[in-house]
């Protein structure tokens, strides 16, 4: 059903939803960000210690608080109403006859170019940790968004090309990246709260900062990897292995 919706319609729905969220935070519910952050932290701590009783309790308290907070948001109610209206519209049109999809994004009779689809090295995950395989794996550049949890990348178990790229945008959690000694590194990291250990360069109290480093021969020697990371709250560690 949603595949038949035009991109412009989806863009307007997102814009209105974001505007409603901003209005709600600014004028009606300023505590919303604190509630979401507090619930996310509870869920994250509970997830880390889920094997213990108090971890299970904290995790589910955080999840329930998140669900209640999100469902009470004006923007979410707007999206639910829009989704229900689109469902009714789709159901009505399907009763009138077969749904037709006008191809306007590209030429209808153009020949498709040969493409090969690759599976992402790290899947998108809202909750939970993810660690790269401990056995050898084929390298693909990484571009991921995450919610709550840790991300661990061990680049010693793969063969990197001359130029590699890693981009991680994460909400709450830690990022660990292990890079072989023969690989040159460039890293750009931004964080609202957290700590950083980048090849022995320590930053113990990051508050809304950007960090940028590169190894001495990064611009002249290959193979090399460019790393771009951003965190709302969490630590990053880049180490040699």
Instruction: Report if residue 40 sits inside a domain.
Output: yes
pLDDT given at position 217? 94
pLDDT given at position 135? 83
Instruction: Report if residue 14 sits inside a domain.
Output: yes
Instruction: Report if residue 167 sits inside a domain.
Output: yes
Number of domains the chain contains: 2
pLDDT given at position 24? 78
pLDDT given at position 221? 94
pLDDT given at position 233? 82
Distances (CA, A) of 74 to 31, 78, 85, 91: 14, 6, 16, 26
Cα 122 to the chain's mean position, in Å?
Answer: 11
233 with 143, same domain: the answer is yes
Per-residue pLDDT 10s for the chain (241 aa) are 555 566 566 667 777 877 887 787 777 777 777 888 888 888 888 887 888 888 888 888 888 888 888 888 888 888 888 878 877 776 676 666 555 555 555 555 556 677 777 777 777 777 777 888 788 888 889 988 888 788 899 999 899 999 999 999 988 888 999 999 999 999 999 988 888 999 999 998 888 899 999 999 999 999 999 999 998 888 999 999 8
Residue finishing a domain among 80, 96, 112: 96
71's tokens: 């469902």
Instruction: Report if residue 174 sits inside a domain.
Output: yes
49's tokens: 């210690």
pLDDT given at position 79? 80
Residues 167/188, Cβ–Cβ less than 8 Å = no
pLDDT given at position 190? 94
- Domain interval for residue 53: 2-96
Strand 201-214 relative to strand 236-240: parallel, antiparallel, unpaired?
A: unpaired
């Amino acid at each position: 059903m949603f595949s038949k919706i035009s991109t412009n319609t989806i863009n307007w729905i997102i814009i209105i939803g974001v505007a409603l969220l901003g209005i709600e935070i600014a004028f009606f519910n300023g505590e919303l960000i604190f509630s979401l952050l507090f619930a996310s932290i509870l869920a994250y701590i509970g997830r880390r210690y889920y094997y213990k009783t108090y971890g299970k309790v904290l995790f589910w308290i955080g999840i329930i608080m998140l669900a209640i907070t999100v469902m009470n948001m004006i923007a979410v109610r707007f999206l639910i109403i829009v989704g229900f209206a689109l469902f009714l519209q789709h159901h009505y049109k399907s009763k009138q006859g077969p749904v037709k999809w006008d191809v306007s994004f590209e030429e209808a009779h153009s020949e498709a170019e040969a493409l090969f689809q690759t599976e992402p090295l790290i899947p998108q995950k809202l909750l939970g940790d993810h660690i790269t395989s401990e056995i050898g794996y084929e390298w693909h550049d990484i571009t991921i968004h995450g919610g709550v949890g840790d991300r661990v990348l061990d680049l010693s178990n793969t063969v990197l090309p001359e130029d590699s790229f890693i981009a991680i945008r994460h909400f709450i959690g830690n990022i660990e990246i292990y890079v072989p000694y023969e690989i040159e590194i460039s890293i750009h990291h931004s964080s609202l709260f957290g700590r950083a250990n980048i090849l022995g360069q320590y930053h113990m109290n990051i508050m809304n900062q950007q960090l940028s480093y590169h190894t001495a021969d990064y611009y002249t020697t290959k193979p090399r990897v460019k790393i771009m990371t951003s965190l709302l709250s969490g630590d990053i560690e880049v180490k040699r292995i």
